[in-house]
Amino acid sequence: MSTRFHCLEDFRTEARSRLPRLMFDFIDGAAGSEYAACKNIETLDRIRLLPRVLVNVAERSLKKTFLGKEWGLPFGIAPMGMCDLAWAGTDKALAKAAVQHNIPLCHSIAASSSLEVTLDRARVNAWFQLYVGASLERAWEHVKRAQDAGYEVLILTVDVPQVAQRIRDLRNGFKVPFRTGPRQFLDFAQHPRWVLETLMAGVPRTANFDDTNPAALYGTASNGFIREETRGKVDWTFLQQLRDRWTGKLIVKGVLAPQDASRIQEAGADAIYVSNHGGRQLDSAPPAVTQLPLIREAVGTDYPLLFDSGIRNGESVVKALALGADFVMLGRPFLFASGAYGERGVMRLVELLTDEVSLTLAQLGCKSVEELERNMIIEN
Ligand SMILES: Cc1cc2nc3c(=O)[nH]c(=O)nc-3n(C[C@H](O)[C@H](O)[C@H](O)COP(=O)(O)O)c2cc1C
């Protein structure tokens, strides 16, 4: 295993040099001035943990029970569309890591692999994530397809009524329809290895849609995936209908308001996924971590909560768990790891986070992640 990567920033730096700017910025970027994305990380960094001593912590367990299953680690892989843009084979590498480490992998409806292929690769570790686009009919088709394929967990993402303005993407020309003008051509020419490997693997497409236009990274045909189309039709009625139809576990992702959390809980969702989409949607949104304890308070101690947005190391995983999350997800870090070093990078990232969580537990006098509590956080 490579020892070149000692923290997330090592992966990010390497990915920045290996990826065309268009792709790196698509992953790294966020909405507007990117204030929300920065604040997610900064707020987590500023939270202080209180070390405890004289507890025998020679043996520590990172196993975590969530939604009726025991997981190998308390963190997993957030849903992300078009992961193979980070590096050819990323979806496959993520599935491999999910199985090897027994962690959940959220398969985005906008993924580069089909939902059936991901399920085949990651089996019970794969969860299906749904966006509701302009056609409700098509959303129901995807729900049925996921159910028929055998998915046991569905995540309904509700914080993208419309894709936000991401300034870097606009400047770089990352938009629908995707075109290679002189600017993008120069960018690709400066990153021949990414281009070669991507072309050899086949230009990434949104495989859950009938995207038959090979020149487009995002489908523009009427039956393809249209990134810019409205996703604003998803509402309380849809949630209730989905709850009635989906027989597996149902998670609602992208929740920040305690009032919404209570209503989603009442609607019968099995879990809530607290997130501000990594700052990619509302630049003025609060850091997701500041909403976490408020939502925990609103839904009570036993209701399952997931968390993401801004997690960049094991200490932050521990902080989120102590603040009320039952499980923690990471987005961009997995794409940086793959962009930097492919499958080995993804494996190294999981190893790094595992070590960091374990070391943090030891410092806090905990033998298990199940022992983490709010009083381990220093309030100031
Ligand atoms: C490149 C990229 C694509 C994403 N695509 C999706 C998606 O298809 N569905 C979704 O629910 N969230 C998507 N997200 C948001 C992530 O699931 C997650 O909420 C976010 O990345 C967490 O913040 P972090 O990157 O700081 O860990 C995407 C994020 C990134 C970076």
Is the residue at 187 inside a domain?
Answer: yes
Residue 246 lies in a domain: yes
**The ligand 1 atom nearest the CA atom of 108:** 8
Query: Is 156 within the bounds of a domain?
Result: yes
What are the φ and ψ backbone dihedral angles of 268, each rounded to 5 degrees?
100, 10
Domain presence at residue 304: yes
Nearest-angstrom CA–CA distance, 152 and 125: 9
Residues paired with residue 66 on neighbouring β-strands, in sequence order: 69
Let me know: does 357 contact 314? Beta carbons within 8 Å: yes
SS3 307: strand
Note whether residue 3 is domain-resident. no
Cα(130)–Cα(147) distance, rounded to whole angstroms?
A: 12
Of 289, 326, 284, nearest to 309 (Cα)? Answer: 289
Query: Among the atoms of ligand 1, which is closest to the Cα of residue 278?
Result: 23
Are residues 16 and 26 in contact, defined by beta-carbon separation less than 8 angstroms?
no
Contact 112 CB / ligand 1 (< 6 Å):
no
- Asked if 123 and 90 touch (Cβ cutoff 8 Å), the reply is no
Active site residue 277: yes
In a domain, 2, yes or no: no
Q: Are strands 153-157 and 249-255 parallel, antiparallel or unpaired?
A: parallel
Q: Is residue 155 part of a domain?
A: yes
Evaluate the omega torsion of the peptide bond into residue 177 and state whether it is cis, within 30 degrees of 0. Answer: yes
Domain count within the chain: 1
- Domain of residue 243, CATH code: 3.20.20.70
What is the pLDDT tens value at each position of the chain, 380 positions in all?
A: 557 999 999 999 999 999 999 999 999 999 999 999 999 999 999 999 999 999 999 999 999 999 999 999 999 999 999 999 999 999 999 999 999 999 999 999 999 999 999 999 999 999 999 999 989 999 999 999 999 999 999 999 999 999 999 999 999 998 655 678 888 899 999 999 999 999 999 888 899 997 554 444 444 445 678 888 889 899 999 999 999 999 999 999 999 999 999 999 999 999 999 999 999 999 999 999 999 999 999 999 999 999 999 999 999 999 999 999 999 999 999 999 999 999 999 999 999 999 999 999 999 999 999 999 999 999 76
Percent of the chain as helix, strand, coil, to the nearest 5:
45, 10, 40
Determine the distance separating the centroid of ligand 1 and the alpha carbon of 365, expressed in angstroms.
Answer: 33
Residues near 148 by Cβ (< 8 Å), separated by ≥ 6? none
How remote is the CA of residue 52 from the centroid of ligand 1, in Å? 35
Residue 348 DSSP SS3: helix
332 CB within 6 A, ligand 1 = yes
The rounded distance, in Å, linking the Cα atoms of 221 and 107 is 23
Within 8 A by CB and 6+ apart from 231, the residues are 131, 132, 133, 160, 161, 162, 163
Top mutation candidate among 127, 253, 332 for ligand 1, by most atoms within 8 Å of CB: 332
Residue 310 Cβ inside 6 Å of ligand 1? The answer reads yes
Distance of CA 107 to the CA centre of its chain: 9
Contact yes or no for 270/250 (Cβ under 8 A): yes
Q: Specify if 328 maps to a domain.
A: yes
d(CA 245, CA 147): 10
pLDDT tens profile 136-158: 999 999 999 999 999 999 999 99
Range of the domain at 105: 8-378
**Amino acid sitting at position 58:** A
Q: What are the backbone dihedrals phi and psi of residue 16, each rounded to the nearest 5 degrees, phi first?
A: -60, -35
Catalytic residue among 107, 142, 191, 277: 277
